[in-house]
Amino acid sequence: MNDYSDLFMVIGASLLYAILLIDINITVLHGTKYKTEREVEYTAIALAQDIIDEARWVPYDQFNTRFANTDSTYNTTLGDYRVTTKTLSNTLSGIGVSNNHIQLDVRVQSVSTADTVSVLLSYVKN
């Protein structure tokens, strides 16, 4: 009887070890997937922020000709990103205030990843 109980203990320990290994592998896999998704998202935000930083230094009269309704693709180490820009001209009026401004919307979408990441940033130029 003693021989069988030792055998059952070894089988039980092996089973618990296998379950533990599977759990660890799943945790590592999810952590890697989460890290990759965040890197793709951070890259999309950085691309949109680069365009907005460039737009900050463009003179007001050249703004629409440079950023109005553009569509381009950027290649990075994490994949391809589609970048679209759209401008909206508005006039703000108030008591004693009349101010024209242009709003720039920058949308960045990851093209080459399974889960599409989309980022929208806006900038208002006075």
CA distance 50 to 107: 12
CA nearest 60: which of 96, 103, 97, 93?
103
Count CA atoms within 13 Å of residue 1 on its CB side.
0
Does residue 125 contact residue 101 with C-beta atoms inside 8 Å?
A: yes
For 12-23, give one letter per residue: b (16+ CB within 10 A) or e: eeeeeeeeeeee
Question: pTM for the full model?
Answer: 0.72
Structure tokens at 108: 């960045």
Domain count for the chain: 1
User: Domain limits at 49?
Assistant: 2-125
The model's pLDDT over 12-61, given as tens digits with 9 standing for 90+, comes to 999 999 999 999 999 988 888 888 888 889 999 999 999 999 989 988 88
Q: Which helix (H) or strand (E) is 51 found in, with range?
A: helix 2-56
Average pLDDT over the chain reads 85
Q: CB of 105 within 8 A of CB of 119?
A: no
Q: Give all strands (DSSP E) within 4-96, no chain letters.
A: 70-76, 79-94
Q: For a pLDDT cut of 70, what percent of the chain falls above it?
A: 92
